[in-house]
Structure 1
Amino acid sequence: MSNKNPHIIIEGAVQYPLGTLKGKCIQYDFDKMLIYLDAKGKLLFGRNFKIHEEDREILFKLCSYFIGDRGVCDKFGIDTNKGLLLTGPVGCGKTSLMRLLRHMVPHKRPYEVIPTRNIVFGFNNIGYTVIEHYGDRRFYCLDDLGVEPTGRHFGKDCNVIGEILLSRYELFIKHKVRTHATSNLNAEELEERYGNRVRSRMRELFNLVAFSAKTKDKRK
């Protein structure tokens, strides 16, 4: 991507303008962003991917967050300095959106999407170095928060993701290192899974953005 045109993303031979450049500021156009996301989604996930009309409102919030539109984010109570906790029913598209939206702002620091169950499997094999690994300053999206198994290494149980969330909280407070997450669970279920101490840290670590509980399973 050319630094002279950060508002234009090139995929193959096609250019996707996401808005217009006014001086050093990009004036984003939401409908143009949706055109790009639909096209990029098909490249990433296959031709059956599509942007659903009923998701426009949540996409508007997410796009505003990713481009750093503080005026819009303030209206929705979203802090652009925090990470995102994207929740909703199974199959509503949380993971796909978190994998997709990072491509819309290639000039910003990327994050890696990691399934929580994979992290726990790693812990079961090699132990506490896995928790230390996620205490670094890279940006992550912890995918499927709360449904991972309890970690077990050399006969000792460990709430691996709970420990990682505490580490990520410290990184956020000290160094503004951002963490994102997706989950099928609601706030009460997450507190039951991780305990009140971790849940209170999560409130400071994340903006909660939720799909409607009635959102249909897009995989069917």
Structure 2
Amino acid sequence: MKTSPTGYNRNNPSIIYEGASEFQLGTLDGNIINYDFQKIVNYIQVKGKLMFGKNFKTYQEDHELLLKLSSYFIKDYAYCAKFGIDPDKGLLLSGPVGCGKTTLMMLLPHLIPHKKRYTIIPARNIVFGFNAIGYKTIDDYSDTKEYCFDDLGVEHTGRHYGKDCNVMGEILISRYDQFKKKGIKTHCTTNLNAVEIEDRYGERVRSRMRELFNLVSFNANSVDKRQ
């Protein structure tokens, strides 16, 4: 059996290898992979333990959300349409503190190991960079790479040489321009709801975010998995 060094079968990328274990997440029908959601959940359980420790687990109440997110990543167009998800947009994953937003955004790209992954960067770290080196930071994240900005909304207002700047708001506007011109995706996780996002970044940014993102949310009563 021919495999790539990155742990998947080159002839059928839904077959993933973790050490000596093989996980077949779907079946190949010509050039189309038919994925099995239960097999995806089983793999996420295993990969989550490998990445985050033996206490990792998925929760039954999150399975509908997992189905939505998995459908997005594997580009199951029928399910994406069912859930009102546009696979050509990015993801804005919202939910309470500790519900598992960042964990899922780290985990789910492993379902498609043959695709290039985005870089996950805490929004607060970007603002720290702006405070140190200024507007070059905004230019740096306005490029054609794919990013996931983690914990959008918890960052402070940037300040460089005494001038304040809503750093993430400016970056999101630049990312919107890249999306419209070249289809470059941006993803975010946030604890904020739509109203709080508008209060934090303004209508100018919020209106662009409607085009830039699919809004996918955990249940507001989702438990804190870190407890």
TM-score, normalised relative to structure 2 = 0.96
Match 2:123 to one of 108, 113, 116: 116
Task: Please give the alpha-carbon distance, in whole angstroms, between the structure 1 residues aligned to 2:14 and 2:200.
Answer: 41
Tell me the distance in 1 between the aligned counterparts of 2:214 and 2:178. 16
Offset, 1:13 = 1.1
Give 1:165's match in structure 2, choosing from 166, 172, 182: 172
- For the aligned residue pairs, the C-alpha RMSD in angstroms reads 0.7
For residues 16-50 of structure 1, the C-alpha deviation after alignment (integer angstroms, 9 at most, x for no partner) is 11011111110000000011111111111111111
Residues of 1 paired with 2:14 and 2:113: CA distance? Answer: 10
1:127 aligns with 2:142: no
In the alignment, structure 1 residue 196 sits paired with structure 2 residue 199: no
Q: Match of 2:185?
A: 178
Count of matched residue pairs = 220
Q: What is the CA-CA distance between 1:84 and the residue it aligns to?
A: 0.4
Give the structure 2 partner of residue 63 of structure 1: 70
Counterpart in 1 of 2:98?
Answer: 91
- Structure 1, unaligned runs of 5 or more: none
Offset of residue 109 of structure 1: 2.5
Q: Report the equivalent of 2:42.
A: 35
Q: 1:163 is paired with a residue of what secondary structure?
A: helix
2:143 to 136, 141, 146: 136
Tell me the equivalent position of 1:21: 28
Deviation at 1:75, TM superposition (A): 1.1
> How far is 1:108 from its partner?
1.8
Amino acid across the alignment from 2:160: H
Q: By how many angstroms is 1:107 displaced?
A: 1.5
Alignment partner of 1:214 is 2:216: no
Distance in 1, matches of 2:36 and 2:46, equals 16
CA-CA distance at 1:91 after TM superposition = 0.6
1:111 Cα shift? Answer: 0.4
- Alpha-carbon distance in structure 1 between the residues aligned to 2:9 and 2:217: 34
The list of structure 1 runs, each at least 4 consecutive aligned residues, that deviate by more than 4 angstroms after superposition, is none
Residues of 1 paired with 2:90 and 2:193: CA distance? 17
- Are 2:19 and 1:12 equivalent residues in the alignment? yes
What is the SS of the residue equivalent to 2:13?
coil
SS at match of 2:222: coil
- 2:20 & 2:129 partners in 1: Cα distance? 40
Which is further off, 198-207 or 10-19? 10-19
The answer as to 2:152 corresponding to 1:145 is yes
Alignment identity in percent? 63
Provide the secondary structure at the position in 2 that maps to 1:6.
Answer: strand
Q: Does the 8 A contact of 2:14 with 2:111 survive in 1?
A: no
Alpha-carbon offset, residue 3 of structure 1: 1.5
Q: Deviations along 1:80-115, whole A, 9 cap, x unmatched?
A: 100000000001000000010011111122101110
Instruction: State the SS of the aligned residue for 2:11.
Output: coil
1:168 is paired with a residue of what secondary structure? Answer: helix
